[in-house]
């Protein structure tokens, strides 16, 4: 049935956009990565801070937290800067929390010592999939930061777990599609973000049918596409890290 359906950018429905992961994008943070999913570009950094938040004090464990934000000129229409409005939007909070949860699945906090890793994902250019690119790039920044921590002798254990990556899938005009750019994302009947581990297990599934509902069969097909995408992204992460 998909033969008559054409995506605006000519990709096959199960094809990722070009993915690029550039390590060492900036030099001050312990880990700094530029990740690109097509035209979406996100700067992902991992910074180390000694000590942990109050609820982790004296636990012997570390913590990882994340903040996601868009530069005001990242989108087609410039958006007001959240710092100037004095308020962070609900969408920003929601994605920051998702990125934090996802990356905590890639780190063994008990091996980290009482240190905190701050992940920052700042979107330089937005074309859909900013949250999935953020998670995918942040894993690489995290790996570099942990390596730096270990090299500095701060961390005795092995906190880094195998890769975690994320991708979006959706239903566009009834067709399951992988890795939606903005043009597809904004009109998808169903929009789903899937975070997976190297072993093919789910870390998080968030599927929303605001323009339509979906059944079990469609869910299965969406997850098949997502799994294909995540496997390719994890391969890209490993290639970038040389592992």
The β-bridge relationship of strands 63-70 and 115-125 is: parallel
Q: Pick the binder of a copy of itself from 124, 147, 154, 235 (CB under 8 A).
A: 124
Which is closer to a copy of itself, CB of 113 or CB of 209? 209
**Sites for a copy of itself among residues 129-158 (CB under 8 A):** none
Calpha distance 3→54 (Å, rounded): 56
Which is closer to a copy of itself, CB of 182 or CB of 232? 182
Q: Has 131 been labeled as part of a binding site?
A: yes
Q: Has 130 been labeled as part of a binding site?
A: yes
**Sites for a copy of itself among residues 203-222 (CB under 8 A):** 203-210, 213-216, 219
**To the nearest whole angstrom, how small is the minimum distance from the Cβ of residue 153 to a copy of itself?**
20
Q: Has 215 been labeled as part of a binding site?
A: no
Calpha distance 87→203 (Å, rounded): 29
Q: Pick the binder of a copy of itself from 35, 36, 37, 104 (CB under 8 A).
A: 104
Q: Quick one: tokens of 140?
A: 């690489």
Does 165 contact a copy of itself by CB under 8 A?
no
Q: Which residues of 49-84 are buried (b: 16+ CB within 10 A; e: fewer)?
A: eeebeeeeeeeebbbbbbbbbbeeebeeeeeeeeee
CA atoms within 13 A on the CB side of 232: 18
Q: Has 6 been labeled as part of a binding site?
A: no
Q: Pick the binder of a copy of itself from 23, 56, 97, 231 (CB under 8 A).
A: 97
Does 223 contact a copy of itself by CB under 8 A?
yes
CA distances (Å), 199 to each of 196, 218, 223, 239, in order?
A: 8, 23, 15, 17
Nearest of 46, 47, 43, 40 to residue 16 by alpha carbon: 40
Residues of this chain that bind a copy of itself (CB under 8 A): 26-29, 32, 39, 41, 43, 45, 47, 49, 67, 69, 71-76, 78, 81-84, 86-94, 96-97, 101, 104-105, 118, 120, 122, 124-126, 192, 197, 199-210, 213-216, 219, 223
């Amino acid at each position: 049935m998909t033969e008559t359906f054409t995506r605006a950018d000519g990709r096959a429905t199960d094809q990722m956009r070009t993915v690029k992961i550039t390590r060492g994008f900036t030099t001050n943070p312990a880990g700094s990565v530029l990740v690109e999913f097509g035209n979406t570009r996100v700067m992902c950094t991992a910074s180390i801070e000694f000590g942990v938040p109050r609820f982790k004090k004296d636990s012997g464990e570390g913590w990882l937290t994340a903040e996601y934000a868009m530069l005001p000129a990242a989108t087609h229409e410039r958006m007001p800067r959240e710092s100037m409005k004095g308020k962070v939007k609900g969408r920003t909070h929601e994605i920051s929390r998702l990125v934090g949860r996802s990356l905590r699945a890639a780190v063994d906090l008990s091996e980290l010592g009482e240190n905190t890793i701050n992940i920052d994902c700042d979107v330089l250019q937005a074309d859909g999939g900013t949250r999935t690119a953020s998670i995918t790039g942040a894993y690489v920044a995290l790996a570099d930061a942990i390596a730096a921590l270990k090299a500095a002798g701060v961390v005795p254990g092995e906190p880094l777990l195998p890769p975690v990556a994320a991708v979006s899938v959706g239903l566009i005009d009834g067709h399951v599609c992988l890795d939606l750019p903005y043009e597809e994302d904004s009109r998808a009947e169903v929009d789903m973000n899937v975070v997976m581990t190297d072993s093919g297990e789910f870390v998080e599934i968030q599927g929303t049918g605001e323009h339509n509902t979906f059944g079990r069969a469609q869910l299965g097909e969406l997850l098949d596409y997502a799994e294909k995408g995540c496997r390719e992204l994890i391969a890209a992460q490993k290639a970038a890290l040389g592992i």
